[in-house]
Chain A
């Protein structure tokens, strides 16, 4: 589903964020992206979002080289890729319902479809009773659930997560991870960048470790630190 061929990203300030990365991710996989801060995890996700272009190499998603997408095709590509952030990126003036519906509205989904899908996805993330609340009234875990709901309401094939438990306490983090596994079971491919050692160690998923822009380990069912 996702193939990276010799992908390098060198920023204009000559920082090499990724160097010759080759990676295949199959449909329905759950991949942890680990490594120290500044290793290139966020660059990796931003490349997949088509936020930035690689300096060299190809990124093939579903048979299409996303580096060759035309400007007008990029939004349609992004509708197939959900993204969740450590800082949630919710709109404070809008309610939970409106925040989720926003993603559908701005992609020109018919109103009847919006009214059907938003409650459905709020039920999935367990916030059906909080639809009218504003983000400021929610706990961190609840806010992250809203942002996950917003990321998946367009039914993307791929869900990218950048440190989504970074601001949450361990118990809350586990709730979020259960939700991520649930979404993964429904067929969504998940790539999740994280520093959370205990989550990686316990979930026994595929682990890709990046250090100084290079993939130094790619292991199925691995832990945060590898075999050692």
Chain B
């Protein structure tokens, strides 16, 4: 491609944008990308939090009273052999009590009323994939010597179904917003095509190639998409920083993603989505309105 041709394409695209993109439509596009970006960040954070929680999902198996040391060793090796188990560590009843006291802190008096340690010996079982917690817990509970298992029954499952639900809703929202953006950009491109229909007619008459006619419109869509996405990125970064500051001071236990690399990647993804949506919009509307 000649530099003069490239200059021509870009010049025509910019002229097209000036002519047919209103502040209103650009505003709508920015708002749409902002929603998409927020959706992305919300999802990344939910994923991050659920990973964080998942990494802490473990099974505690309480043992029956009166097991001998060799029984306990045997049980430990059998537990380690269960598929999906990563690590098994023994928590003696004394150790368990110490940890419980540490957790209860100022409510320690609750334990003081008891004369002896109420806790049984136990195993803490870490899993390779926390998603298998239910079936592994069932297997373990059937083992001889195991009295009871505890893995926060219900909580882990709720977490997994909630993240899946949010993922599906996000994808649905993404589809709706993406088609809105495609429609707005496509409409701007349609106006441009209409404004330049005489030029297009003459271009075809004097032997311009189909792609020579198409490129400025394709570029126009891509430019609008990228510009909208870029501006919304700027807003998004500021909003997210504010949100991080707020959560950081108000709810410090919530592990939000603050890695600048992740935020930059989100912005890049948004810009890429803008380019793809713009190109799609141009393409679809050119197919309908540009007879080359």
The answer to the question of A205 belonging to the interface, with a C-beta cut-off of 8 Å to chain B, is no
Determine the chain A residues whose CB is within 8 A of the CB of B208 once the complex forms.
75, 106-107
Whether B202 lies near A89 (C-beta < 8 A) is yes
Contacts of B198 in A (CB 8 A): 89, 91
A interface residues, tally (CB under 8 Å): 23
Cβ contacts under 8 Å, B5 to chain A? 108
Is B207's CB under 8 angstroms from A76's CB? yes
Q: Which chain A residues (39-60) contact chain B, with CB distance < 8 Å? A: 49
**In chain A, what residue has the closest Cβ to B4?**
A111
Residues of A within 8 A of B203 (CB): 102, 106
Question: Which single member of A71, A91, A105 contacts B8 (CB below 8 Å)?
Answer: A105
Residue of A with least CB distance to B7: A111
CA of A106 to CA of B212 in the docked complex: distance in angstroms?
7
Stretch at the interface among A77-85, A193-201, A215-223: A77-85
User: What residues on A are CB-neighbors of B199 within 8 Å?
Assistant: 91, 102
Nearest Cβ in chain B — how far from A61, in angstroms? 14
CB of B291, distance to nearest CB on chain A (Å)? 11
Complex contacts, B213 vs chain A, CB 8 Å = 106
Give B203's nearest chain A residue, CB to CB.
Answer: A106
Q: How far is the CB of A29 from chain B (nearest CB, A)?
A: 22
A154–B212 alpha-carbon span in the complex (Å): 17
Complex interface residues of chain B between 185 and 239 (CB less than 8 A to chain A): 198-199, 201-210, 212-213
Q: Output the residue of B8, B199, B207 with the most chain A CB within 10 A.
A: B207
CB-contact partner of B209 in A75, A103, A154, under 8 A: A75
Q: Are A75 and B205 in contact (CB under 8 A)?
A: no
From known contacts A89-B198, A89-B202, A91-B202, infer whether A108 and B2 are also in contact, taking CB-CB under 8 Å: yes
26 A-B contact pairs sorted by A residue (CB < 8 Å): A71-B210, A72-B209, A75-B208, A75-B212, A78-B205, A78-B206, A79-B207, A83-B205, A91-B198, A91-B199, A102-B199, A102-B202, A102-B203, A102-B206, A103-B206, A106-B206, A106-B212, A106-B213, A107-B206, A108-B2, A108-B5, A110-B2, A111-B4, A151-B206, A154-B206, A154-B207
Q: Which residues of A contact B (CB under 8 A)?
A: 49, 71-72, 75-80, 83, 89, 91, 102-103, 105-108, 110-111, 150-151, 154
